[in-house]
Amino acid sequence: MSDDTSSCDVILKAMVAMASADGHLDSREVGLIQEIFKDCTGNALGADAVARAAHQNEAEDIRDVLADLAPSLDLTTKDEILCAAYRVLLADNRVAGEERKELHEMARALHISEIHLSALLEELAASLHE
């Protein structure tokens, strides 16, 4: 992942939004969010920080944040955001319709085509099965 802390903050918000899309954050999702954030920044993230990010997300819609940032983000960062969100979507081994809808709306906000998103998720799914 990118070393840019601000992109990692956006990734954190996207992951938390995805985990919350089905109405709750479960412990597997929180653990995965912490793991991905550590990979991104090299810093540990406590469960309380995940809860704070969830509270911040209540004040601002992640799709609006992504749409505002989209012109300044490179494709690699956009892909990182979507891959991190998708990994969280898969964390509870149940894909809720709300989660799938949230992922597609995030992609639209980032100006990512459905074709690109499908290819990205297919590649990620293959790498997760290895």
Which pLDDT band, with edges at 50, 70 and 90, does 33 fall under? Answer: very high
Listed residue (67, 84, 70, 94) closest to 13, CA to CA: 84
Which pTM does this prediction carry?
Answer: 0.85
* CA distances to 4, 14, 86, 121 from 7, in Å: 5, 10, 16, 20
Q: Which CATH number fits domain 3-128: 2.40.100.10, 1.10.3680.10, 1.10.20.60, 3.40.710.10?
A: 1.10.3680.10
Q: Both ends of the chain: CA-CA distance in Å?
A: 19
What pLDDT shows up at residue 2? 45
Write down how long the chain is: 130
pLDDT digits (tens, 9 = 90+) for 57-76: 888 888 999 999 999 999 99
For the chain, give the percent of residues with pLDDT over 90. Answer: 42
- Where do the structural domains in the chain lie, given as residue ranges? 3-128
Residues 30/50, Cβ–Cβ less than 8 Å: yes
